[in-house]
Structure 1
Amino acid sequence: MIVVNPKSCNATGGQTGACLPIFTCATKFAGTVKGKCSLGLGECCVFERSCGGESAGRVTYFSSSASDATTAPACSLTLTKATNTCQLRVEMPTLELAEPNAEGLCEQQYLEVTGAGGAEPLKICGKNSGQHLVVDTRGAAGPFTVSVINSQANPGTSWNLEVEQVACDSPNLAPTGCDQYYLEASGSVKSFNYDTAAATPTQPDGNPGSRHLQESYTICVKEGGSGSCGLEWTPAAGEDYAFTLTGYLIPDPLIPLPIFRTATDGLCPFTDHLVIPEGLVRGEANPSTVFCGSLFPEAVTSPSYRVTVVANNGEVADNDIDNRGFHLLYNQRSC
């Protein structure tokens, strides 16, 4: 007797579904059959939802396909907690929402995940296709809600999210305290809403506002095993704004200092910054922890697999003009 695997299957179109007995996908679980599984004895059932949808699936796809998705006060997906679930991982193949205001605050439209308890949920808005978010659900019974909040109509915005309930024994379970978890040995990390173009909202002086969201969160990278002893961080090549967290970035003849400049530790007043534990700048003898300013060093090595983003909600007060966040590359360091 062949047992149908209820956990996962590869559906057509690259999606992930649940392998269920024939004739149960649509009638019992409101899913869509997208292929066969278990030697043809099961159906690969994909759960696709929009506003008001509910799911208990291990993987659910949540999109803006509903006619009122961008005009209703909230478009929400409600998840019943699956057995042995410790985290939600929200992949964002498409997430194009309204921009934050000039202070970098999400007000007009944003994504949030609630029901997991703990700290105030992150609010994510703007251009975030290709990003992801991890939410710890240990100790929470659910249900969990993934919502896009609209304080006004937002035509032209859209999203298509893949929401996975990550099992407690999954090799891809993020360490406690991680809001993002990168699984590859090397890769690219962008702050939420990072883009090379200036923001549309403007500051009181008429200059571009901040793209850098005023949200604090922790980025983690999966450790590479016994041969890995930390990470090396470098700025993305060819992007002038690849690290712009603080500073007035509009050319001004009255300001003699370079527009793009680096600052660390004591040179950083309390303003937006990154915390890179024991971060050693290439060519320097002593490590630093706090990195701010508008120019990332050539390279920074750290024994840690975490970087914390700290925002202080004071872009105008700090005279932070035209800041766009960061785009950094990481590589595992060999021991």
Structure 2
Amino acid sequence: MITEAPRFPFNPYYTLMPVRYPTAVSTRTNPAFVPFASCTTPNKEMGICAESGACIRSGGRASGTCDLGRVCCVNVVSNTCDDEDRQVVTLDNTYWLSPTTGLSSTTSSCSLTVKLDATLPEQGKAVCQVRLTFVLFTIAQPNAESVCNTDTFDVAGASNKIPTICGDNEGQHMYLNVPSSDTSPTDLQLSFNFGTNSNSIRAWNILISMIPCDSVNLAPLDCLQYFTARTGTVRSFNWRDVAGTRTRQLANQDYSICFKTMPGFTKTLCLTPCTVTSTQMPFSISVASTIAVAGRVPVPAVPTPNQSQLAPLNCNNDYLVIPGGYNSAKPPSVDNMAYDRYCGERLNALPGNVASTTVCTTATPFRLLFRTNGDETTTTPTPDSRTNGNRGFCLTFRNQ
């Protein structure tokens, strides 16, 4: 049950005039949309260029202008989340908004279909990827083992692996790979599933952007996230700058994060833990634990908080892979300075270090791998600390 009105980051239009997006059949009568001609409104919303009349007939809202007298048409779909209200999206740059009246206490799920078909006049060419931008995303938190067992968000129909997520993910994004829609039309299913949690605020606003197969904006294959700017911030799902030791890292994550190689630079990617305003940890991935070494007397697995990983094999529960990572103050040729797996509560290429630092890599194409297992405290032989609770990571990056 929703306990307060959802927050809408754009303007009051969403709360005053919820619209219904037409199905693909009715859209065929309005061919005046310019396929994949994206535009940005004065309020920084994404739209698609269209004739003014076609935008109005489709239920869209004109805001800003395009070439040839066309308008920037903003399209929003908001369903009531019941079995009889099945919405289908066929237009690029469409926002999926949670019900403006809130969710019923008996609502168990809410879904949307994204139809990709090059024969549709509003698409007109092959689509190979869909990007989901989470403008707003708030559902129930995971349990003490980091498992999304109350509320979940899932994607079906993509060819790459899409993890189940929950919690707070405003500002995050996902790239979904699909077969070329001119040879294999695809229906993507986006689904929220809700459990029993009367204290949870459930609200979302997801921008659905279609990427043609010939676009320069395609992400590398199998990259769930793709960053094209020279600088920015990358976070694990559900990381937030909030106080407390409550577990916020999500279990069962296994995906790649990619960065565009910028022309004219030395091809070095550097990552630094974010500056936080609370007591939150910007890097907290599976508290480092001692491990038994072959040929030596077995050592009990003892958690060692507030340190970086003790050795590469120490990161066997949850970890972030930075290929060939090294501390920025040291050249990568220095002995014992190149690591791939990072865990613990400090980002540092030196084992057992108590300070975080900037870690760089020259391994191109730039790609990180984030993996978490299915629990936080019961994994053997090296369970994580029960008291700390893993938080995930927030890193600023610079392609230099």
Taking structure 2 as the reference length, the TM-score comes to: 0.71
Residue identity in the other structure for 2:384: N
CA contact (8 A) 1:234 1:299 kept: yes
Residue 308 of structure 1: CA displacement? 0.4
CA contact (8 A) 2:231 2:396 kept: yes
Mapped to 2, the partners of 1:211 and 1:47 lie a distance apart of: 33
Residue identity in the other structure for 2:270: E
Mapped to 2, the partners of 1:293 and 1:137 lie a distance apart of: 36
The reply on whether 1:74 has 2:139 as its aligned counterpart is no
Return the index of the structure with the highest Cα Rg: 2
Residue 312 of structure 1: CA displacement? 1.4
Query: Structure 2 vs 1, CA of residues 58 and 36 (structure 1 numbering), >3 Å: closer, same or farther?
Result: same
For residues 121-154 of structure 1, the C-alpha deviation after alignment (integer angstroms, 9 at most, x for no partner) is: 3112111111111111135521112222212366
Structure 2 unmatched runs, 5+: 1-31, 80-85, 117-122, 290-300, 349-356
Mapped to 2, the partners of 1:183 and 1:190 lie a distance apart of: 15
Residue 325 of structure 1: CA displacement? 0.7
Residue 163 of structure 1: CA displacement? 1.1
Q: Which residue of 1 aligns with 2:273?
A: 235
CA contact (8 A) 2:286 2:315 kept: no
CA contact (8 A) 2:228 2:260 kept: yes
The reply on whether 1:296 has 2:347 as its aligned counterpart is yes
Mapped to 2, the partners of 1:265 and 1:138 lie a distance apart of: 41
Residue 12 of structure 1: CA displacement? 4.8
CA contact (8 A) 1:50 1:76 kept: no
Q: Which residue of 1 aligns with 2:223?
A: 178
Q: What does residue range 26-41 of structure 1 map to in structure 2 within 5 Å? A: 26-27=56-57, 29-40=58-69
Residue identity in the other structure for 2:263: G
Q: What does residue range 294-333 of structure 1 map to in structure 2 within 5 Å? A: 294-297=345-348, 298-304=357-363, 305-317=366-378, 318-321=383-386, 322-333=389-400
The reply on whether 1:63 has 2:97 as its aligned counterpart is yes
The answer to which of 158-167 and 224-233 deviates more is 224-233
For residues 190-244 of structure 1, the C-alpha deviation after alignment (integer angstroms, 9 at most, x for no partner) is: 1111124367xxxxxxxx5521111111111111114231301111235661111
Mapped to 1, the partners of 2:138 and 2:303 lie a distance apart of: 36
CA contact (8 A) 2:287 2:303 kept: no
The reply on whether 1:44 has 2:72 as its aligned counterpart is yes
Query: Structure 2 vs 1, CA of residues 168 and 70 (structure 1 numbering), >3 Å: closer, same or farther?
Result: farther
CA contact (8 A) 1:50 1:77 kept: no
Mapped to 2, the partners of 1:76 and 1:257 lie a distance apart of: 41
Q: What is the aligned counterpart of 1:212 among 234, 240, 249? A: 249
Q: What is the aligned counterpart of 1:268 among 304, 310, 314? A: 314
Query: Structure 2 vs 1, CA of residues 224 and 66 (structure 1 numbering), >3 Å: closer, same or farther?
Result: same
Q: Which residue of 2 aligns with 1:21?
A: 51
Q: What is the aligned counterpart of 1:245 among 281, 285, 295? A: 285
Residue 164 of structure 1: CA displacement? 0.5
CA contact (8 A) 1:263 1:292 kept: yes
Q: What is the aligned counterpart of 1:96 among 131, 134, 138? A: 138
Structure 1 unmatched runs, 5+: 200-207, 250-254
Mapped to 2, the partners of 1:49 and 1:237 lie a distance apart of: 36
The answer to which of 303-312 and 73-82 deviates more is 73-82
For residues 308-329 of structure 1, the C-alpha deviation after alignment (integer angstroms, 9 at most, x for no partner) is: 0011113111134321111111
Taking structure 1 as the reference length, the TM-score comes to: 0.84
Q: Which structure shows the higher strand fraction?
A: 1
The reply on whether 1:134 has 2:175 as its aligned counterpart is yes
Query: Structure 2 vs 1, CA of residues 275 and 70 (structure 1 numbering), >3 Å: closer, same or farther?
Result: farther
Q: Which residue of 1 aligns with 2:5?
A: none
CA contact (8 A) 2:271 2:396 kept: yes
Mapped to 2, the partners of 1:234 and 1:23 lie a distance apart of: 49
Mapped to 1, the partners of 2:396 and 2:65 lie a distance apart of: 39
Residue 9 of structure 1: CA displacement? 3.2
- Percentage of identical aligned residues: 28
Residue 246 of structure 1: CA displacement? 1.4
Query: Structure 2 vs 1, CA of residues 114 and 280 (structure 1 numbering), >3 Å: closer, same or farther?
Result: same
SS at match of 1:229: coil
Q: Which residue of 2 aligns with 1:112?
A: 154
